[in-house]
């Protein structure tokens, strides 16, 4: 298990060095977006309208935080299930998105698009929202403010811990992990 410390936004040479299973600490800017924000971005792309932020080279984090307590920049902020965003993902990758952070596996259409557009899918630990919030230093709503917890936010993160799930070479951590740790003899018994 290799560890890497990476500066955002992602560059092509950094992406080329990332491998499925790497434990990576991200520092820099990323953007939060969930279901409703994705629906709006997809509509904008379909109409040929500009997206609220230039996503080329950027990373999107699937998160809908709890409200920030007084004196804090954000509440609990762990990843949500990525599966729900699968239908919206390929067009964003085509538009230049280079990284995604979520939890759980992706459908084959997304895995193929990640390879095609040379982007990386990271896993953050679901259910570690209190811990992850400590790595988010600054938060600013940049679009879709009316969506509340689902608004699009720019986040400055420091040493934000993630694991590479899908690299640009077709690797998939969920498949590899299962293959390595499965005990077929117990399941057969």
The catalytic residue positions are 38
Question: First and final CA of the chain: distance in angstroms?
Answer: 32
Burial 85-118 (b: 16+ CB within 10 A, else e): bbebbbbbbeeebbbbbbbebbeeebbebbbebe
User: Cis omega (within 30 of 0) on the bond before 81?
Assistant: no
Report d(CA 35, CA 64) in Å as an integer. 10
Ranges of beta strands (E only) in the chain are 3-7, 23-32, 59-61, 99-102, 120-123, 136-143, 152-166
Per-residue contact string for residues 68-97; x = within reach of other proteins by CB under 8 A: xx-----xxxx-xx-x--------------
Tell me the closest approach of the beta carbon of residue 148 to other proteins, in angstroms.
7
- Which C-beta is closer to other proteins: that of 46 or that of 179? 179
What's the closest the beta carbon of residue 84 comes to other proteins, in angstroms?
Answer: 9
Is residue 14 involved in binding other proteins (CB under 8 A)? no
**CB count, 10 Å around CB of 28?**
16
Shortest spacing between CB 26 and other proteins, in angstroms:
15
Quick one: CA dihedral 93, 97, 99, 105, positive or negative?
Answer: negative
Whose Cβ is closer to other proteins: residue 21's or residue 91's?
21
Assess 182 for contact with other proteins (CB under 8 A). Answer: yes
- Kindly indicate which of the ranges 8-16, 48-56, 89-97, 119-127 contains the residues binding other proteins, using the contact rule CB under 8 A: 119-127
Q: Which part of the chain contacts other proteins (CB under 8 A), choosing from 40-48, 87-95, 112-120, 159-167?
A: 159-167
Q: Which is nearer to other proteins, 10 or 172 (CB)?
A: 172
Q: How far is the CB of 76 from other proteins (least distance, A)?
A: 4
């Amino acid at each position: 298990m290799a560890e890497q410390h990476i500066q955002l936004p992602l560059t092509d040479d950094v992406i080329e060095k990332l491998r499925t299973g790497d434990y990576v600490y991200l520092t820099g800017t990323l953007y939060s977006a969930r279901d409703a924000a994705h629906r709006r971005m997809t509509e904008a792309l379909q109409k040929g309208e500009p997206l609220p932020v230039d996503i080329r080279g950027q990373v999107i984090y699937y998160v809908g935080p709890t409200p920030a307590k007084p004196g804090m920049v954000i509440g609990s902020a762990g990843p949500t299930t990525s599966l729900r965003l699968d239908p919206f993902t390929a067009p964003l990758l085509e538009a230049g998105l280079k990284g995604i952070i979520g939890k759980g596996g992706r459908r084959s259409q997304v895995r193929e698009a990640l390879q095609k557009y040379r982007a990386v899918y990271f896993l953050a630990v679901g259910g570690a929202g209190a811990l992850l919030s400590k790595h988010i230093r600054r938060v600013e709503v940049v679009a879709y403010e009316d969506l509340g917890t689902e608004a699009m936010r720019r986040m400055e993160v420091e040493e934000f811990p993630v694991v590479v799930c899908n690299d640009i070479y077709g690797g998939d951590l969920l498949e590899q992990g299962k293959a390595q740790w499965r005990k077929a003899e117990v399941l057969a018994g």
